[in-house]
Structure 1
Amino acid sequence: MRLFLLAASLSLLLGSPAIAQGAKTSSAFDTDVAALKPGEFIWNGDLAPEGPMTVIVHLPTQRAFVYRNGIRIGVTTVSSGKPGHKTPTGIFTILQKNKDHKSNLYNSAPMPYMQRLTWDGIALHAGNLPGYPASHGCIRMPMEFSKKLFEASSMGMTVVVTNGLVTPEVADANAFLMPVTAKGVADDPTLRRLSKDENWRWTPEKSPTGPVTIVLSTDNERVIVFRNGVEIGRSKVQIAKGFEIGTRALQYAGTDADGQTRWIFIPLPGYETEKGQADEKSALQSIFIPADFNRLVRSVIGPGTTVLATHGGLNSGQAGKATTVIATDQ
């Protein structure tokens, strides 16, 4: 009874219940990923000290993989959304970072090292890891791993949540630079159709800063540019007859010594072997974008830029701040 009262008193003094810390240090880098116990992780940032980062969360195995410049630098056990609160799959970007965040939805529950994926409550953060999905939709990680990821990541970092395991691959310097599209965009593009006399539109003042996502639909023959989830430009494009680009995603990886733009390809779950997927040379020769608009788009490409492409149409989506750009059927 005394122990119970002591625990209750501490709970009142400390407010919310304490978060399980998980492992304090990284497991050996060659540890079998499948053998990691709940709360354990692997981290070796020195393997790739610089470059764009991507996090891939694999829901079936409750693991998250961190790549920097296409090289895996970390793996961790996670706990995703429980039944009734499933974690959404898709491609996201980090919208907000807060080391000491507390939940706005669940009694101010602590969410240390929070990195927001959606404005309706989905995030990466430190939390309890029982070894199975147990959250309200967020992706919980060990405390020390969350800290390392928080310190290494930046606004706009790409996060892929999937039921199918994928591995980023580095594209060659001549990979196609065309913007790309989504199965579902959070903002309804049909509300801002170009008029008959408009070939393109550019309004960067609507969102002066933030991560850039460029989407292309060969079916709709349109390119749409979003910055921080807000549309800042769109253009008509011409597509060679019979050409289908497939479905793919890329992340900006800087420029090489020759000034060539480099991209890291992110295979999309369920689309890696899609019939009719075009190679990059075919894409370069089959998509025509107005030169003036192309120059404007290039001017906003930088760290965090994600390019998404599909031969599917641009679907209407919810209005609001949700910024899932690709939602898979996985």
Structure 2
Amino acid sequence: MRTMAGIAATAAATGGALLLAAPVASAEGGAICGAEAKACVSLSGQQAWLMNGGGATYGGVPITSGKPGYETPTGSFTVTYKDIDHYSQAYNGPMPYSVFFTTSGVAFHQGSLSVQSHGCIHLSPEAARVFYDSLKPGDVVQVVP
């Protein structure tokens, strides 16, 4: 089974995208997200994957997540809705390719990979488009520490 370090090294060597047949695994060798997850986020590894049946189909791609005081919640969620051109009234800024997965407004979206968010998962422009095109309402998103 692949470790997070091995996955990260391979992803770095391939420009950030990686297709895997094996489950995304922790350093200890256990799967970090369940077979029901369509998206998996590792906050400690600052990476995300699209999943099918417990195996990664896209990723790991680099992310940034919530800054202190705005931590990204962990747990299992479902995609609630998508908005290709969302604008945050609360934080006065664009959130292209938004895929919302909490009732508190946390989403995957295109954003800076050099700054932390207000709880959302920032993705590169390419990854944001792929996540937007791949996920649909009702899909399970798992966010692990």
Fold agreement, TM-score > 0.5: yes
2:94 match: 110
Percent identical residues: 36
Instruction: Return the structure number with greater relative CO, CA threshold 8 A, min gap 6.
Output: 2
Report what 2:57 is aligned to. Answer: 73
Once residues 158 and 72 of structure 1 are traced to their aligned partners in structure 2, the CA distance between those partners, rounded to angstroms, is 14
Partner of 2:45: 61
- Higher CA-based Rg: 1
Q: Is 1:160 the equivalent of 2:142?
A: yes
What are the superposed Cα offsets for residues 239-280 of structure 1, whole Å, 9 maximum, x if unpaired? xxxxxxxxxxxxxxxxxxxxxxxxxxxxxxxxxxxxxxxxxx
Gaps of 5+ in 2: 1-5, 21-35
Query: Which residue, out of 93, 110, 117, partners 1:135?
Result: 117
- 3-state DSSP class of the match of 1:125? strand
CA distance in structure 2 between the aligned counterparts of 1:95 and 1:34, rounded to whole angstroms: 29
3-state DSSP of counterpart to 2:17: strand
Show structure 1 runs of 4+ deviating over 3 A: none
1:1-330 alignment to 2 at 5 Å? Answer: 32-35=6-9, 36=11, 41-42=16-17, 44=19, 54-75=38-59, 76-107=61-92, 109-130=93-114, 134-163=116-145
Q: What is the alpha-carbon distance in structure 2 between the residues aligned to residue 53 and residue 118 of structure 1?
A: 15
1:70 to partner: Cα distance? 3.1
Could you tell me how far apart the structure 2 residues matched to 1:162 and 1:143 are?
Answer: 23
User: Aligned equivalents of 1:122 and 1:129: distance in 2?
Assistant: 16
RMSD across aligned positions (CA): 2.1
1:44 Cα offset (Å): 4.8
Q: In the superposition, relative to structure 1, how do residues 89 and 53 fare at CA in structure 2: closer, same or farther (>3 Å)?
A: closer
| Corresponding residue pairs, total | 121
1:93: how far off? 0.3
1:59 alignment partner AA: L
Contact persistence 1:41–1:142 (CA under 8 A) = no
Normalised TM-score (structure 2): 0.75
Gaps of 5+ in 1: 1-31, 46-51, 164-330
Offset of 1:118 from its aligned partner? 1.9
How far off is 1:150 after superposition? 1.1
Shift in Å, 1:41 = 2.6
